[in-house]
């Protein structure tokens, strides 16, 4: 039977659905749909709340002629905004830990513990294909959620990140904006998957993953500043004047005395001199002629984040490759 236009009537009832899931994609989504929808729903709520808070912050700043305020009066009532920024940054900093423990660790450990992996191994679908689908869909959802949080929070922080009210090198800013939240979470999740593959028990995998993610973030905080190339400012006009002024938003790494030979000594070298005359004699005996100040300009923030992202993505790829290779040899 055909319609007047010559098209079979049955084609209407068989029109393809958009985003229809099939096969392994459907199976993986159905198995973990509660976790996936929870992550997506919470992300939408958080992004909407961040947009609302940013609108309030910009209304406050606009009253003072932002981005070129007429006076510094805007800093007096800005503390509540800073508190909210810090609180949200701390929450986003905890996302890699939470998803590593509650998404990454149980992903394979649960299937190994309850026997689902044995059932999959007995089917026509290869273990690597099943594992690839499981990892691919999970990591895609994780990256979408954490990427959206990083972009939204960076949008909120952006107008004030170069001011003296905010330290952009703090982990609640540097590690929670741009691509770094997604990269950190990617590594903690695949790390949790690898731990679950080795431990093969959900509870134990979650405990070990928690320790792994906490240690990772502690080490990362100490390591991340070395990703930026430091700028050095030298003066040769003595040290009785103040050290050189740094650009707005610059983070001071080190401050020391400069000698006539070009070497540096600690700024406290002559601090124990009892009198001004003794202090001047100490400076002269050490041939101190000026200051040496090392700092990171705020323009280094984005390159540091992308460099850190590249490192974390490379580590994540290595972990995923290990998981896939091990699953080919021994999964159940």
Question: Which residue blocks in 17-126 are alpha helix, DSSP H?
Answer: 23-31, 33-62, 79-99, 105-114, 116-121
CA distances for 78 relative to 153, 167, 225, angstroms: 17, 15, 27
User: pTM here?
Assistant: 0.85
Model confidence over 184-195: pLDDT tens digits? 999 999 999 999
Terminal Cα distance for the chain, rounded: 53
Q: Please, which pLDDT band fits residue 320 given cuts at 50, 70 and 90? A: very high
Q: Please, which pLDDT band fits residue 329 given cuts at 50, 70 and 90? A: low
Burial (0-12, 13-18, 19+ Cβ within 10 Å), 6: exposed
Q: Tell me what pLDDT residue 49 has.
A: 96
Distance CA 60, CA 203 (A): 47
| Token representation of residue 225 | 């500043």
Distance CA 260, CA 276 (A): 21
Question: Which residue blocks in 158-250 are alpha helix, DSSP H?
Answer: 171-174, 180-199, 202-223
pLDDT at position 26 over 70: yes
Q: Residue range 163-173: average pLDDT?
A: 87
Distance CA 101, CA 172 (A): 20
Average pLDDT score, the chain = 86
Least confident window among 20-34, 58-72, 99-113, 144-158:
20-34
Distance CA 256, CA 278 (A): 19
Q: Please, which pLDDT band fits residue 22 given cuts at 50, 70 and 90? A: low
pLDDT at position 138 over 90: yes
CB 211 within 8 A of CB 100: no
Residue at token pair 């709520």: 45
pLDDT at position 143 over 50: yes
CB half-sphere exposure, 202, CA atoms < 13 A:
10
CB 246 within 8 A of CB 298: no
**In 3-state terms, the chain is what percent helix, strand and coil (to 5)?**
65, 10, 25
Distance CA 101, CA 208 (A): 9
Least confident window among 110-119, 288-297, 322-331:
110-119
CB 298 within 8 A of CB 249: yes
CB half-sphere exposure, 288, CA atoms < 13 A:
24
Q: Please, which pLDDT band fits residue 14 given cuts at 50, 70 and 90? A: very low
Q: Tell me what pLDDT residue 331 has.
A: 59
């Amino acid at each position: 039977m055909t319609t007047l236009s010559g098209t079979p009537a049955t084609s209407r009832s068989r029109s393809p659905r958009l985003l229809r899931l099939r096969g392994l994609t459907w199976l993986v989504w159905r198995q973990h749909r509660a976790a996936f929808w929870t992550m997506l729903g919470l992300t939408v709520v958080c992004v909407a709340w961040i947009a609302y808070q940013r609108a309030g912050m910009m209304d406050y700043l606009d009253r003072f002629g932002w981005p070129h305020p007429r006076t510094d009066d805007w800093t007096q009532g800005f503390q509540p905004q800073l508190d909210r920024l810090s609180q949200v940054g701390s929450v986003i900093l905890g996302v890699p830990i939470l998803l590593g423990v509650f998404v990454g660790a149980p992903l394979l450990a649960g299937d190994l513990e309850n026997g689902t992996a044995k059932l999959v191994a007995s089917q026509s679908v290869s273990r690597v294909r099943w594992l690839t689908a499981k990892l691919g869909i999970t990591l895609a959802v994780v990256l979408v959620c954490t990427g959206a949080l990083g972009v939204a929070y960076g949008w909120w922080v952006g107008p004030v990140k170069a001011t003296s009210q905010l330290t952009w090198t703090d982990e609640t800013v540097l590690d929670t904006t741009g691509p770094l939240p997604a990269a950190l979470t990617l590594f903690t999740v695949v790390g949790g998957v690898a731990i679950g593959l080795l431990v093969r028990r959900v509870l134990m995998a979650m405990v070990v993953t928690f320790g792994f993610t906490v240690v990772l973030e502690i080490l990362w905080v100490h390591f991340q500043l070395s990703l930026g190339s430091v700028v050095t400012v030298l003066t040769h006009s003595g040290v009785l004047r103040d050290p050189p002024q740094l650009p707005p938003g610059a983070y001071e790494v080190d401050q020391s005395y400069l000698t006539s030979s070009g070497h540096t000594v600690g700024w406290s070298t002559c601090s124990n001199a009892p009198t001004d005359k003794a202090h001047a004699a100490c400076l002269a005996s050490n041939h101190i002629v000026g200051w040496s100040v090392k700092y990171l300009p705020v323009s280094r923030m984005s390159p540091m984040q992308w460099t850190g992202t590249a490192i974390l993505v490379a580590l994540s790829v290595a972990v995923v490759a290990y998981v896939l290779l091990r699953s080919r040899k021994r999964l159940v």
